[in-house]
Amino acid sequence: VPELPEVERAVQQLRPAMEGARFAGVDVRRRRLRTLLPRRFEARLTGAAVHALRRRGKYLVADLSTGDLLVMHLGMSGSFDVHLNGSVPLTKHDHVVFSMSSGATVVFNDPRRFGSMWVYDARTVARSALAALGPEPLDEAFVADVLAERLRGRKAPLKAALSDQRVVAGLGNIYVTEALHRARLSPRRAAGTLVAATGAAPPSLRRLVQAIRATLRDAIARGPDDDRFRVYDREGRRCPRAGCGGTITRIVQAGRSTFFCPRCQK
Ligand SMILES: [Zn+2]
């Protein structure tokens, strides 16, 4: 399931084909994705230029010359193919095809159809899921005090709190699990216990912020074919922390598997 690093890589993949180019043609082969594609989807995109393509949380966002925003989500199994020229053989799960003025063809493929696309203007975006997102974990502004404010008083386990897109944007099951191991914090610990009674951020919370950033930066740099994890999906293996000697354990939280080392994660 795509999280921030996978979405970031999708943005980097699409940028050369889409940024600065216009939508010359928009072919919707299937309207019913996770949501129904908006009415006039094709009309609002066709002819518009992409000023910038960026990521916000797990969303891809194209800022258009018309003032509209094209917002795209990969869901569980969505991905893009970019064809720089020539005709494109389409398959059953290719649902949306953008023909760009750059000559590139961008194809959205999604076998499970949990992904979707929306077009917003300045007014409607304020009521969208995008507007409710928490801070970007790779932004300079994401510091321990910002996270402290959002975790203060929360009784939810750390795993659940950090997976909440309103607390911090872009994290999911895999990278929360990995960051908590790096920060030596238990996924079961109540989130609010990381914040002092005064609201201040203790060293453990500063460590967590650094761990989230480092985990995401490493995953973006590593690339899609290398998924060596510290603890995720490594039940029964030796903890990778030098000198720990613990064993990675799997628990289920909110219906999702969590992996952690009970010896060094407190
Ligand atoms: Zn350990």
The string of pLDDT tens digits covering residues 170-185 is 999 999 999 999 999 9
Torsion angles phi and psi, residue 30, rounded to 5: -150, 115
Q: How far is CA 134 from the centre of its chain?
A: 12
Provide the pLDDT confidence category of residue 23 given band limits of 50, 70 and 90: very high
- pTM assigned to the model: 0.95
**Residue 23 Cα to ligand 1 middle (Å):** 51
Find out whether 251 and 258 touch, Cβ atoms under 8 Å: yes
Report how far ligand 1's centroid is from the alpha carbon of 179 (Å).
13
In sequence order, which residues have a C-beta less than 8 Å from that of residue 48 and are 6 or more positions away? 22, 23, 64, 65, 66, 68
Calpha distance 135→133 (Å, rounded): 7
44-72: per-residue pLDDT in tens? 999 999 999 999 999 999 999 999 999 99
Ligand 1 centre to CA of 260 (Å) is 8
Residue 152 has pLDDT above 80, yes or no: yes
Residue 137 near residue 162 (C-beta atoms within 8 A): no
CA of 181 to the centre of ligand 1 (A): 8
Q: Which residues are catalytic?
A: 2-3, 58, 256
**How many CA atoms, within 13 angstroms, populate the side-chain half-sphere of residue 6?**
20
Q: Closest Cα partner for 176 from 250, 254, 258?
A: 258
Q: What residue type is assigned to position 38 of the chain? A: P
Tell me the pLDDT tens digit for each residue of 214-238: 999 999 998 777 778 999 999 999 9
Residue 223's pLDDT is: 79
HSE, side-chain direction, 13 A CA sphere, residue 20: 5
Residue 219 Cα, ligand 1 centroid: separation in angstroms? 21
Residues 25, 17: Cα–Cα separation, whole Å: 14
Is 256 within 8 Å of 175 (Cβ atoms)?
A: no
Q: Are 107 and 25 in contact (CB under 8 A)?
A: no
- pLDDT of 120 reads 98
In one-letter notation, the amino acid at residue 227 is: D
